[in-house]
Every structure is written in C-alpha cells, then in structure tokens.
C-alpha cells in the first residue's frame, strides 16, 4: 500500500514545524471557488481614525456617501441615505452618512458600484466593507461581498470575496481579497445576503491594492548544541532527581526498563545502551481497559506547546515522539508528561529533548533518498564493426523525475496564464479543489453541474497532467449540501448510489486516484445514517465502477500529535477495519498545513519535502495550491499574484533540480557506461567524432541494476 500525501510531521525532535487545520471550502453553491480569509471584527470605535476610506488608493468612488448616493445603485432594491436611524440608535461609524438598501425582495438584492476600468487584472485587491442589518425581525444574518465579472467571451463569473455574520446591534467589518484574470469587460462589486424584508445598512467600502505584510525574523538562538540532550537525569540513573509530580500523587522508582531503546531515540541519538531505570508516577488504581493518551507538553512562558502524544491500551512500552518549535526566546519552559485518566498509573523510562541539527538530518535524508529513489544503471552501447563507442564521452541529464509532484487547481486557475505556465512546468499531477465535490456537481437534487470538472479535465488532458479525483463523498457534516442533509434513510441510500454511478461512470478511466470519503476520522455523516458498513461499501462500489482508479483514505492531523480523533493509531485502526470489510483501500493520504511563523516557509517546505522524499512509503506529494490568492491560506504561496517566485518557490525548484540525475564520463572498453540515477526520463548526448547520439531513455522503478541498451 502506498502513501500519497500532502505533507507530514516527522519524528524528529525540535523540528521547526507548526501545523494548523487544513482549510477546504465546503458548500459554496453558485460561486466560483475563490478562497479568501473573511474575518469578523466588531469595530473598536476608538480606531476610527485609522480607517482610510478617503485614501487615494481606494478605487471606490464616493466611498462614504459624502456626495450623496452618486456612483452607487441598488441591485433590485432602493437606496436611501441616512444620518441616523432607529431614534438615533444607529449612527454612521465613519463620516456623516450611511446608506440603507431597502425594499429588498430577494437575498441577492443589495448595493453595488461598477468598478470597470479602475480595477486591474493580476493585482491583489483588499476589500473592507462596514455593514450591519436592520429590521425584518431578525438579529443576525450573513452578508457577503461578491464581484460580478463579465469576460470578453461573455461568460459571467461571480467571485466571492468575503462573508460575515452581521448583526442589528453593531457595525461589523467584512474583509477579503480578490484577483481578476484576463481583461474583463465589466466588473461590479456588490454587497448582498440577508433575507428579504431585512435592510442592509452600509457605511463604507474600501477596495485597494493589497499591502504586503513584512514577515518578522526568525528568533536567534545562541549556542545551539545540536543533537545534545537538554534534559537532566534523562533516563533516571539518578533516581527521580529533577522530576516532580504535578498534582496530588507521588513518584516512585522501580527497576526493569524496556530492553531496547525505542526507534526514534535510537535513530536520532544513536544510543547503543539499554535504558537503565524507570520511574513510576504512582496513583491509586491499577490501569484501565480503555485507550489512554500520553502526551508530552511544554509550558513556554505560560503557553502550551504540544510535543507529541500516543494513545494505547496495552501494558507494553510505547514511544512518544514529537517535535516543537519555540517562537521566541523564552524565560521559563517546563516539560510535562501527562495524559491518562485519574487512577491509571503512568510509567516513564526516559525523556530526551535536543535541538535538531538540520544539516546532519539532511545528510541522513540524502542518503536514504539515494537508496530509495535511485537505481544503478548500465547503459550498454551496441557496437558494430562500423561503430565502436568505447572511449566516447557521454552526458546524461534527467528531464523529468517520475516521482509525482502535484498541486490543487480550481476552475479559475486555468484562466490565469502565468499560473498555468508554472503548473505545467513544475507539476505532473493535479487535484481539483472543489469542482468534483458532490456539493459542486449536484448543488440541488437532480440539478447537475459537471461543467467545471469537465473543463478542468480537458485542461489536464491537454497538458498530460494526471488527476486525483477529490472527493466522491465527504464525511464531515458541514460539508454536505442541504438537500442531502434533508434526505431520509432510503432517500440517502438512493442518492449515494446515484452519486457513485453518475460520477464514476461519467469519468471512468480519467481519474487515476479517488479520495473516496474525505476525512472519515473527522466526521460520520454517512456512517451515522447508513451504518458502519457504508464506508467499505463506497470503496467496493467505486472499485466495481472504475477498477482503474486507486482508492484513497485521506485525513488530516495524523502525524502532528495534536488531535486524538486522528492519531496514527486511529488511522491504522480505521484502515484495517475497512480492509477487513473488504474495502479495496489502495493508498493513504496525510494532509497537513505548514503555518509560517517568520517568513520561513522555504525552510519548512524543504524539511517537509526532504523528509517525504526520503520516506520509502511516500509515493507522491501534492501541494494545496501554489499561486497567491488561489489557495485556501494566506502567505502559503510559492508565486505571488504578479507572477514573482519567492524564497519557498526557489527552494522547491532547487530540490526538484537536485532530484534529477546528472552523469558524464567515458564509455568503457566493454561499451558500457554506469551511473546511479533517479527514476524517470533522461536525455543522453554523445558527441564524438565517431558517434553522435541525442535521445531519451526511461528509468523505471526497481531495486536491481537496470541495463539499458542504447542503439547506435
């Protein structure tokens, strides 16, 4: 079984990785997928002065109604200006006036301004809107800001910028970003959302170039002693000195330790000796049958930092491995080993913490990489009487490593020329962000939308990109479109069957992979309603309908030790369970997020990529996007909206280059040239007086030396 994953946390100590929730947009009917980072702030009145609606960068005309209603119009409703409303309870936050969008009869009615000509394509814009709701007998409702774009081919597009829950009590600020592709004929920005009968009150709108936020610098650590354990009395040679109980229980010493050092400690520290003692943190009671969590946690100046955890319910020794990074010079750090329920004894045989020497670690990883991603090659040159290649100079340069690097794309990605160029040059796999999800392909029952997926598929075929189908189902309730949520059991069974048949028949043979039921450790929508077997059934039917596709189990937070729902143990348990029920599970996927702390995305990305590439079970890496604003996260891009590559991108490209074979030398007397090369397509050039060759050969995966005959 292969492991195909997005990213991973490693069992190395004090590695510089922080992990957050991966963000996938859930149900977004009728909107082009365009991830932004909406945020809600109730505005602090004393910060008014900082609002620059009037600023010269704002492309909105008359942004705070100083010129009356000029330049604004009602979209399906009437616009009125006010100095106050509700007996003076509602006053403008900025300036003298605010507008109300009233007499609304549809939720999409609201206020709009045309910005054609003032907004430029391929630039990031930041939008800030100040709104609240009024009347209609409700106290809160969603308000969203959307762009309507008319493209030269007359196709219309709605780009969601941000959504916020507004209230009738306070002004709220709605913020988001957008980016336009191509040269649209017309662009209108509008604010809409609440149910009819409720007015939208609208105080100001700012649309301006997004400012770049400079990253702060990495903290400077003096005298980093890489690989040196910083815990005193680590393996309890000196009794319980330096250890103390936290809470009302006592520590005691016992003897008889695990015979072998656990693998992480052994591999990382190179210890040869056995552990010599153990300490028993004693409490009343004698164990428990239910699984217990043991966690290593640090308190860094009062903030908790997770150092890894395990979950188990047997009485054997387990290793807790983890890594953490401290963001600034701390003044007080405590480390805790904690977790099991009251009444359960916890035994600790040792604890080591040491700064990771990335250089040394990379050296080790390069060795592993060399072992698993390359093979010995013997190029045999078929000599004849006319041609004797011996002695000729050969140059081999790899064109393409066959290791799958991929990226997420969306329907709007393929309208961006720069994005497409970078994609086809640097990736050989893709996954669609939302376009294949059920909520996208059938937002209302029997109302199908395969247009976006079809267009993306055609694009991939045009560029020979392999595709992961993401996802047939999604087990998490919030991601499920309302009509599916409203079905009764028999209706849901039919709908699930239809979804499988429609999707897998339509795209048979097109998707090499499928994520069958997204995030089964983080949701149980189908399982709760249709029984435990439904997940295995989804796999079985998918396989029957398209046996050419590898079926994936995928989830997040597997390796970061912060989420008990998706510990490695839970993941294994789930997969074995599925297999036991006959589910043809073909591969696993580990999703994760690199959260950048100090503009160190490049460093973190390199660690992630090197670790993954050196791991024998990893068979591919997908990034969830790479182009600024075409990603679900801010500041996670490799290329900015203007097409400039950043440090992370340079690192990625340098690694891709490092993972291409280069070899040169002379053909020996036996007519052979030997080297060790990566799997994939190579170019060979010989340019000697007697022999001229310029051709390609492919190195397939395998461990034994591979002989390749080159015909002269």
Ligand X SMILES: *[C@@H]1O[C@H](CO)[C@@H](O)[C@H](O)[C@H]1NC(C)=O
Q: Which parts of this chain interact with ligand X (CB under 6 A)?
A: 44, 46-47, 53-54, 61, 64, 66-67, 70-71, 78, 80, 94-95, 102-103, 137, 248, 284, 383, 388, 390-391, 455, 458-459, 462, 488, 490-491, 669, 683, 685, 687, 694
Max CA pair span of the chain: 105
Judge whether 589 counts as a catalytic residue. yes
Comparing CB distances to ligand X, the nearer of 101 and 549 is: 101
Comparing CB distances to ligand X, the nearer of 97 and 324 is: 97
CB of 133 to ligand X, least distance (A): 14
Grouping H, G, I as helix, E, B as strand and the rest as coil, residue 456 is: helix
**Cβ–Cβ under 8 Å, residues 350 and 236:** yes
d(CA 450, CA 442): 8
Comparing CB distances to ligand X, the nearer of 372 and 708 is: 708
Q: How do 374-382 and 706-711 pair as beta strands?
A: parallel
Comparing CB distances to ligand X, the nearer of 222 and 425 is: 425
Catalytic choice (35, 192, 475, 519): 519
Q: How do 618-623 and 2-5 pair as beta strands?
A: parallel
CB of 508 to ligand X, least distance (A): 20
3-state helix, strand, coil in the chain (%, to 5): 20, 30, 50
d(CA 465, CA 545): 22
Two tokens at 469? 């189908």
Contacts (Cβ under 8 Å, ≥6 apart) of 421: none
CB of 385 to ligand X, least distance (A): 7
DSSP state of 627: B
In what side-by-side order are the strands of the sheet with 124-134? Answer: 40-42, 172-179, 124-134, 199-209, 98-102, 78-82
Comparing CB distances to ligand X, the nearer of 618 and 686 is: 686
Comparing CB distances to ligand X, the nearer of 219 and 491 is: 491
CB of 462 to ligand X, least distance (A): 4
CB of 581 to ligand X, least distance (A): 26
Q: Is 76 left (phi over 0), alpha (psi -120 to 50) or beta?
A: left
Two tokens at 703? 């461990």
Cα distances (angstroms) measured from residue 637 to each of 28, 34, 96, 599, 648: 23, 15, 40, 11, 8
Catalytic choice (24, 435, 475, 589): 589
Judge whether 685 counts as a catalytic residue. no
CB of 94 to ligand X, least distance (A): 4
* Residue 438: closest CA among 518, 558, 350, 548: 518
Q: Where are the alpha helices (DSSP H) in 518-600?
A: 525-530, 534-545, 568-580
DSSP state of 342: T
CB of 301 to ligand X, least distance (A): 23
Q: What are phi and psi of 628, to 5 degrees?
A: -50, 135
Comparing CB distances to ligand X, the nearer of 248 and 464 is: 248
d(CA 307, CA 299): 10
CB of 80 to ligand X, least distance (A): 5
Q: Which residues are catalytic?
A: 519, 589
């Amino acid at each position: 079984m292969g492991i195909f994953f997005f990213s991973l946390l490693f069992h190395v100590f004090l590695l510089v990785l922080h992990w957050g929730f991966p963000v996938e947009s859930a149900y977004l009917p009728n909107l082009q997928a365009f991830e932004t980072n909406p945020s809600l702030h109730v505005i602090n009145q004393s910060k008014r002065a900082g609002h620059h609606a009037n600023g010269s960068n704002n492309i909105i005309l008359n942004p705070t109604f100083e010129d009356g209603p000029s330049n604004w119009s009602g979209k399906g409703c009437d616009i009125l200006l006010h100095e106050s409303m509700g007996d003076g309870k509602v006053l403008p936050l900025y300036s003298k006036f605010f507008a109300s969008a009233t007499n609304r009869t549809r939720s999409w009615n609201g206020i709009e301004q045309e910005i054609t000509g003032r907004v430029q394509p391929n630039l990031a814009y930041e939008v800030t809107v100040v709104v609240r709701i009024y009347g209609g007998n409700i106290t809160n409702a969603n308000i969203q800001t959307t762009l309507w774009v008319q493209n030269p081919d007359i196709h219309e597009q709605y780009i969601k910028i941000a959504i916020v829950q507004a209230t009738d009590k306070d002004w709220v600020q709605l913020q988001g970003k957008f980016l336009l592709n191509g040269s649209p004929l017309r662009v209108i920005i509008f604010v809409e959302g609440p149910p009819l009968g409720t007015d939208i009150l609208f105080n100001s709108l700012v649309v301006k170039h997004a400012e770049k936020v400079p990253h702060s610098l990495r903290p400077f650590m003096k005298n980093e002693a890489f690989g040196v354990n910083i815990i005193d009395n680590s393996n309890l040679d000196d009794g319980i000195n330096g250890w103390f109980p936290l809470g009302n229980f006592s520590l005691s010493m016992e003897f008889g330790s695990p015979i072998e050092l656990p693998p992480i400690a052994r591999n990382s520290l190179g210890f040869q000796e056995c552990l010599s003692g153990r300490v028993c943190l004693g409490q009343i009671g004698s164990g428990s049958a239910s699984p217990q969590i043991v966690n290593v946690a640090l308190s860094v100046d009062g903030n908790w930092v997770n150092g890894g955890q395990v979950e188990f319910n047997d009485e054997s020794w387990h290793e807790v491995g983890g890594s953490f990074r401290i963001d600034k010079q701390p003044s007080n750090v405590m480390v805790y080993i904690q977790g099991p329920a009251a009444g359960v004894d916890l035994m600790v045989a040792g604890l080591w913490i040491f700064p990771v020497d990335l250089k040394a670690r990379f050296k080790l990883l390069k060795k592993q990489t060399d072992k698993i991603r390359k093979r010995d090659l013997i190029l045999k040159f078929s000599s004849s009487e006319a041609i004797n290649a011996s002695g000729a100079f050969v140059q081999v340069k790899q064109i393409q490593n066959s290791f799958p690097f991929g990226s997420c794309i969306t329907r709007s990605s393929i309208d961006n020329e720069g994005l497409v160029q970078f994609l086809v040059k640097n990736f050989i796999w893709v996954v669609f962000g939302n376009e294949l999800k059920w909520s996208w392909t059938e937002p209302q029952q029997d109302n199908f939308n395969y247009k976006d997926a079809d267009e993306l598929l055609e694009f991939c075929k045009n560029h020979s990109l392999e595709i992961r189908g993401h996802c047939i189902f999604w087990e998490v309730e919030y991601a499920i479109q309302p009509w599916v949520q409203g079905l009764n059991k028999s209706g849901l069974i039919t709908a699930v069957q239809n979804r499988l048949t429609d999707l897998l028949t339509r795209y048979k043979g097109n998707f090499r992979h499928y994520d069958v039921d997204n995030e089964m450790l983080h949701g149980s929508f189908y399982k709760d309603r249709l029984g435990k077997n439904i997940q295995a059934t989804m796999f079985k039917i998918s396989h029957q309908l398209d046996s050419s596709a590898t079926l994936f189990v995928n989830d997040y937070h597997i390796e970061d030790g912060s989420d008990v729902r998706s510990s490695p143990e839970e993941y294994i348990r789930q997969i074995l369970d599925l297999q036991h029920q006959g589910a043809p599970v073909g591969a696993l996927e580990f999703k994760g997020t690199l959260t950048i702390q100090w503009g160190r995305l490049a460093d973190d990305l390199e660690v992630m990529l090197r670790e993954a590439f050196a791991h024998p079970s990893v068979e591919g890496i997908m990034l969830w996007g790479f182009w600024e604003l075409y990603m679900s996260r801010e500041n996670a891009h490799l290329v900015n909206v203007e097409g400039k590559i950043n440090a992370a991108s340079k690192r990625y490209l340098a690694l891709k280059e490092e993972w291409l074979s280069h070899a040169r030398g002379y053909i020996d007397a036996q007519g052979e040239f030997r080297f060790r090369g990566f799997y994939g397509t190579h170019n060979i050039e010989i340019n000697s007086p007697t022999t001229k060759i310029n051709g390609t050969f492919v190195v397939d995966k395998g461990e034994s030396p591979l002989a390749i005959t080159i015909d002269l």
